[in-house]
Each structure stands twice: as C-alpha cells, then as structure tokens.
Amino acid sequence: MCGIIGYIGNRRATPLLMQGLRRLEYRGYDSAGIAVLDGNSLFCERTAGRIDALKEKIGERRPEGTVGIAHTRWATHGIVSEHNAHPHRACNDSLVIVHNGIIENYRELRAELQATHTFTSDTDSEVLAHLIESCHQGNLRHSVACALSKVRGTYGLVVMHADNPDLLVCARMGSPLVIGMGEHEYFVASDATPLLPYTKDVTYLDDGEIAELRRDGVRIYDLREKTVHKDIQRIEWNDEQAQKQGYDHFMLKEIFEQPVVFRDAVRGRKIPEDGTAYLGGLNMTESQMRNVSRVVFVACGTAYHAGMIGKYVFERLAHIPCEVEVASEFRYRDCVLDDRTLVFAISQSGETADTLAAVREARRKGAIVRGIVNVVGSTIARETDGGTYIHAGPELAVASTKAFTNMVAVILLYALQFGRLKHVSLADGQQFLQAHFEIPSKMEQILNMNDEIAAVARRYARYRDFLFLGRGINYPVALEGSLKLKEISYIHSEAYPAGEMKHGVNALLGPDFPVLAIMTKNQLYEKMRSNIEEVRARGSKVILIATEGDTDARQLGDDVLTVPSTIEALEPLLNTIPLQLFAYHAATMLDRDVDRPRNLAKSVTVE
Ligand code: M6R
C-alpha cells in the first residue's frame, strides 16, 4: 500500500527521497510525489504512474533543501491521477502532508471545511492538510494533534510546513511508521526498507503517537501531548539483502533463497536428542501448552494457506482441534474464544490490517495470542504476547514465496513441540526432524529443475484458465499455486480438493482447461490417481507434480515435474516450489510486471 519517506538532516533531500521511493516501490503504487523545503520555499511535484515519470517531471529542477517528504500512492479514494497524488497541500501552499490509511469521516470534515478551504483532489487524505491548517496557530505539533482529535480512521502521517523548515511532524494510528536515527539526521518511513542504506537504528511509532523530527533529535508524544520514551531497536537486515543480486526479479531471487532462509528459520530451534523443537518465543510453560484445547490460525492470502497446512499438521501431530480463519472474516464474526484457545496470527509483513484487527479481537476475548511474523518490530509482532520470527529476510516481490515456506517450517516445528508433549513418540519425533533436516538439499534439487519447469510453464502460458488440484495436505499447496499464478500472470485459475470435482467443477474440464495436480506418494496417492484419470477422460491436459521415480505418473501426465520424496507432513515445503516457478515463468512469458502485479500491494495496511 502507500509508501511514505521523510528526511531531515544535512544531505540534499531530493535524491535521497527519490531513492527512498524506489525502495518503497515493492509495496505497490500507482502514483508518486515529493515535496522539499528549500529555505522557506516549498518545491512540490507529483505524477500519476511510475517514479521514472516523477523523475522526468522534476527534470533539471533540483531543489537544494535538506528536509522533505515523498509518497507512493495506492489509490483507495479517488482515481489514479496527478491531482490525487500526494503530497497534498493546504490552501496557503505552506503546509504539505503525505498520508497512508483511510480517513473514514472525511466527507463530514470536507463538508465543514469547504466553506473556507479550496479542495483540489478527490482523496480522503487532503482533508488532513486543510484540517491541520485550520488548527494551525504556530506550533505544528499542536496543530496536528488538534486536527487528529477530529479524525476517525487510520493514518501514518507526515507533515511539513514552510514556516518550520527545521521540523517534520509524524503521527500514527493504524498505518505503520518507523523512525530511523542517524547522526544529526532522521528519517521516517512506512517500513525500514528505504532506511537500510543510512541507518539500522530505528524506533517504531505506536498508535496514538506523534513525533517531532529535528536535526538535533526526535521527540515522541502521545495524543494528549505527554512525552513518550521509546527504545531504539537494531534492524537485522542489510542493504545487500534488499537488492536483486543479479536476478531478473525479486520474486525469482526469493524463490531461490528458500534453502538458505529455511535453515535460518529452523536454526537453534530443533532438539534432535529429544525428537522435539523449542520455540522459546511461545512464552508458555509445558503445562500451559498441555492445557491448550484449540488452535486457531488467522491470516490472509498466502499466510492463510500456511495456516491451512498448520491445521493438518497440528491435528495430526498434536491432536489438538484446529481451525483456520481468513482474518477479514474472523474480525467481524462472533468467534468463540477462551483462555484455552491459542490463536496464531501469521503474517509476512506483520502489518496486514485485517490480521492485526483479528489479533486485537482475539486478545480482547481472552485468547492466548502469538505471532508468526517475518518483519521484526512490526505491529503484529509487537501486539502479540510472543511468537516466532520466521527469518525469511526482506521479501520485496508482491507475490510471497520464501515467507510461505518459512511460515510452514515454523508451524511444523510448533506442531512437533506440542505433539511431543502429547502423542508423538521420541522415535517419530526424531524421524520428523531428520526429514526436516533434509529439506534444504531437496529444495535445491527442485531449484535445479528451473529450466525444465520454465519450458513447461511457457508451453501453457497462453491458456486463459487453469485448475489446480490437491488432496489432504496438498490442497492448500494447490490453493497457493493457483494464487501465485493468478496474481502475477493474470491467468484465471482455481484450486480444488480433487475429491470435490464431481460436485460441480468437472463441468469446466476440456481441452481449453489444463489441470495442474499434485500427486505425490502419500496416503491419498491412489485416490488422487483416480481423480486424475477422470480429468484425463474429459480431455483436459494434465501437468503432474509427482514423486521422483513414479513411473506411473509419466503415463498419466502430459507433463510431469518430479520432486524428491519426504514424509507427508513436510511435502508442502517441496511441492510448492515447482508451482512458484511455474507461475513465475508463465508470467515472464506473458511479459507481466512480476514483482509489482497490477492492483496489488505488498502490505495491505487498510481494510
Ligand atoms: O504480510 P502478510 O503475510 O500478512 O500478507 C498477507 C497477504 O496479503 C499476502 O500473502 C498476499 O496474499 C500475497 N501477495 C500472496 O502472494
């Protein structure tokens, strides 16, 4: 969603902000803009479209100023156009704002202000600029606090005023803002990615906080304007990790990173001699763990698919009843929770608005709430009472890949940890860990098939529809493969549990409707095989993901992609990879913007 970067220091702000915008591109955007204070004169430029278009518009006009703000917009209210792009100015042209979030009562506020203020955009955000202007009596922080007291909704907000060239004021409610601490220079951004070249010391604003950034320091206040003292945290990621490192796309790089980041996710968390795992961040004693009567995973998109896999393994290993909920449904449902329910919120970004709202709802109802999160210091990580970082490193492609496998890796270890307290024997636990240990080299084996998978994907990329089939633990894998394909190639695709085909979906089958099916050797192999026979009989082309050495698969599939065998619970860690590569190559064949697919944002921070 929208990306914000602000700077105050001694460097020229324009190039720094432009580079910051490029590093925020991965969040998804449709327009961009920048404002820089040059002395007391305000330079502001905006455009619909890409950052290159903004650069072209700025041309040779390079303001010298060392304080500024910039923004990538992902349209919610108002079409994609220059006049709706941020920064938004108030009437007197001295005050500018950038905003991420949604102002829910903007219509009422706009109606009130319209008598005295001239609006130039259709956005909800512009109302903030006029509201702050109408409150302004000299002290910018007071003006922002006064304006925000009238606002309902969410905001990550940065404000700059030509009368205060040594000051940026930021505020947060619902939309993330991180402040970067340098030497006599300070940064504010929607996430840490644009800060990586300059500083690793950051502090995260919490909801209801307002910050003043000056060259000599940062002061943070609550909405009642009382000073708040915050810890400085160190970002673990480095700038190199946030680069493409020779790959054509972030997505391909991130797919190929999976063996390495998988090791990072599980390092120090396995106890082979006891056939178990230990995820200390769970913050629960063994007797509290034994007392858990139900597990609920809440998440969105790809993270939801990881949760579905969690349901299979938790019920199988830990014998604990388990549910998976799409966070946007969970938050509005009267979900029955109690203090024996363990809720896991799964999120790569740790900022997804619906998942965060689900966390808050679950805590309100007294459940035990833990996070399975990638971004360290993110809001979900801070608002849960423990949990586990998945250590996937920066994931910058909109399509989630390595975060998915690392979520699954961690969930599997949780299932083992709970399982060993109940039903799983030492021998079974050790066998599980041995299979887990072999996963990275097996992932590498699949990645070595990249060219073969690319050739198959290219042959099928011109079909308009696709069906993904799986059963059991591979049904969520089919859903994930289908999501990857549709989100980056724009090919329509669906995913079904193969046993459900007869109940309607068979009607779609035929020569124009290829089927990609996961038919690895597990307890449902024979069932899956019969389902594929039925698909073939109806004329659809079949691509199979099959276990190495399965000669029967060769007769059944028009194309067969093989994966090494592993125990059933771990199959998703391997079977997902050919599907990720299939989607990637189909999308590049169709010349799609793989890392930044249309209409999508990396981190969905509004409802
Ligand atoms: O940051 P999160 O894991 O909470 O994001 C959840 C979804 O928005 C995300 O997985 C989305 O579905 C991806 N684009 C899928 O590739």
Cα(481) to ligand 1 centroid in Å equals 14
CATH number of 3-243: 3.60.20.10
Residues whose beta carbon lies within 6 Å of some atom of ligand 1: 300-303, 347-349, 352, 355, 398-400, 483, 487, 603-604
Percent of the chain at pLDDT exceeding 90: 84
Does residue 241 have a pLDDT over 90? no
Cα(456) to ligand 1 centroid in Å equals 26
Closest ligand 1 atom to residue 403 Cα is 3
Structure pTM?
0.87
Stretch 313-332: mean pLDDT, rounded?
A: 94
> Residue 209: enclosing H or E segment and its boundaries?
strand 209-214
Domain ranges of the chain: 3-243, 253-438, 449-589
pLDDT of residue 80: 85
pLDDT of residue 258: 97
Out of 3.50.50.100, 3.40.50.300, 3.40.50.2000, 3.40.50.10490, the CATH code matching 449-589 is: 3.40.50.10490
Confidence of residue 602 (pLDDT cuts 50, 70, 90): confident
Most distant pair of Cα atoms in the chain: their distance:
79
pLDDT of residue 412: 97
Instruction: Report phi then psi at 361, rounded to 5.
Output: -65, -45
Positive/negative CA dihedral, 579, 306, 351, 204: negative
pLDDT of residue 423: 86
Closest ligand 1 atom to residue 375 Cα is 1
Q: Whose CA is nearest to atom 16 of ligand 1?
A: 399
pLDDT of residue 41: 87
Token pair 């890392």: residue: 595
**Residue among 297, 349, 579 to mutate when testing ligand 1 (max atoms within 8 A of CB):** 349
**DSSP-based three-state secondary structure for 360:** helix
Domains 3-243 and 449-589 share a fold: no
Closest ligand 1 atom to residue 398 Cα is 14
DSSP-derived secondary structure for 136-194: -SS-HHHHHHHHHTT--B-EEEEEEETT-TT-EEEEEEBS--EEEE-SS-EEEESSSGG
Domain formed by 253-438, architecture: 3-Layer(aba) Sandwich (3.40)
List the one residue out of 47, 76, 71, 41 whose CA is nearest residue 188: 71
Give the active site residues.
Answer: 2, 602
Distance between CA atoms of residues 94 and 62, nearest Å: 19
Compute the CA torsion angle 173, 176, 182, 185 (nearest 10 deg): -60
Record the tokens describing residue 520, joined without a space.
């690895």
**CA 296, 298, 301 angle in degrees (round to 5)?**
140
